[in-house]
Amino acid sequence: MSVATKYARIFSLGISEMLAWRFGYFVMALGSAINLLVLFIFWTAVYQDGNQIGSYSLEQLLIYYAFSITLQILMDYSFVWGVSEALHQGNLSQYLIRPISYINFLFVKEFGVRVATIASFAVPLAGVVIYFHDRLPNSLLAWILFAATTVFGFIVVSLFGILFAMTTVWFQNPHIAGSLFFTTSFLLSGRLVPIDLMPAWLASIARWSPFPFVTGMPLEFVLGNRAGFSIQELLIGLVWFVVLLFSAQRAWKWAVIKYEAGGA
């Protein structure tokens, strides 16, 4: 079996896994739509009462949060629990004897899961795109940059996820480090509020972290508030990528050694 075929099968495995529980899948799609609807109602009410949030128009905020939910679905970290549980329960052994990298296996399978999940939000998202089509960027470059930043964000999230999942070996609890990471990411990524609305000190911390690549930066392309990247932003992204890749690989190796010692 070629490498491409192998990973294509793992990718489809991720999709199948997601669709196995159809009721849950349907409810998840419904929940995302309800979440979006409530946000729309809330922000419409805020602007109807004569309020304005920063320099954002109502349409911009609605687009921001609609796409933010999309990215939230795509960048979901729940696979960390699966890895942590595998480490905690001792289910990792089966992966150690297979002729495939566990990290690569996870990454590709998770990508399949995310693609299937994003499809559940396709209808509400299509509604938003059709309704606000004249407010969205016309340039192909903006969408390419949006997609590229999103993919990079996904890589960042996955590397962080793997790194934190490995801490299970030391903390003896699969949920501790992951929870702390989720909440920090939520705060600094711009998922909560656009980064330029944050207090200066918090925005400054966010800009030096890799988290804006996960939500804030891609959405700035969608809103037309960004044309490209500064050298500083590219450098920050590159440094974080190298550090995370190195750390995730080291943590994996250490975790395997520790895991084996624990099982002896």
Partner 1 sequence: MKQAAHKILHMWRVFVAIFRMSIMMHLTTPLGGVMKFASVFVDMLIYVVFAKIIFSYIPAVGGFSNDQLYMIVGTSMLIEWISWFTFRAGTAQTPDKIQSGKIESVFIRPLPAPFLAFFTRMDIEDVTRAVTGLMLIVPHAAAIASPTALHVALYAIALLGSSAIYYALLASISPLAFFFGKLDGLWAVVNDINNMGRYPFTIFTRKVRWIFFTILPTAFLGSVPTLILTTNDHWQWLALTFAVAGIGIWISVLIWNWAASHYSGASG
Question: Which range, of 136-144, 195-203, 231-239, 249-257, touches partner 1 by CB under 8 A?
Answer: 195-203
Taking the C-alpha atoms of residue 232 and residue 119, their distance in angstroms, rounded to an integer, is: 34
Taking the C-alpha atoms of residue 118 and residue 112, their distance in angstroms, rounded to an integer, is: 10
Q: How far is the CB of 144 from partner 1 (least distance, A)?
A: 30
Tokens matching residue 77: 């970290």
Report the half-sphere exposure of 233 (CA within 13 A, side-chain side): 15
Among positions 43-82, residues that touch partner 1 (CB under 8 A) are: 45-46, 49, 51-54
Q: By C-beta, is 4 or 23 nearer to partner 1?
A: 23
Enumerate the β-bridge partners of residue 56: 53
Burial label for 225, CB within 10 Å (0-12, 13-18, 19+), is middle
Q: How far is the CB of 2 from partner 1 (least distance, A)?
A: 33
Q: Judge whether 165 and 83 are in contact, CB under 8 Å.
A: yes
* 193 makes contact with partner 1 (CB under 8 A): yes
Per-position DSSP letters for 120-154, written without gaps between them:
HTHHHHHHHHHHTGGGS---HHHHHHHHHHHHHHH
Tokens matching residue 148: 């590229």
Number of H helices, E strands in the chain: 13, 0
* 177 makes contact with partner 1 (CB under 8 A): yes
Taking the C-alpha atoms of residue 139 and residue 154, their distance in angstroms, rounded to an integer, is: 23
* 201 makes contact with partner 1 (CB under 8 A): no
Number of residues that bind partner 1 (CB under 8 A): 41
Question: Which range, of 18-26, 100-108, 204-212, 219-227, touches partner 1 by CB under 8 A?
Answer: 18-26
The correct pick among 12, 35, 225, 247 for binding partner 1 (CB under 8 A) is 35
The correct pick among 91, 94, 101, 173 for binding partner 1 (CB under 8 A) is 173
Question: Which range, of 86-94, 190-198, 226-234, 240-248, touches partner 1 by CB under 8 A?
Answer: 190-198
Tokens matching residue 48: 């109807």
Question: Which range, of 22-30, 91-99, 128-136, 225-233, touches partner 1 by CB under 8 A?
Answer: 22-30
Q: How far is the CB of 228 from partner 1 (least distance, A)?
A: 27
Residues that bind partner 1 in the complex, under the rule CB under 8 A? 21, 23-32, 34-35, 38, 41-42, 45-46, 49, 51-54, 171-173, 176-177, 179-180, 182-184, 186-187, 192-193, 197-199, 202
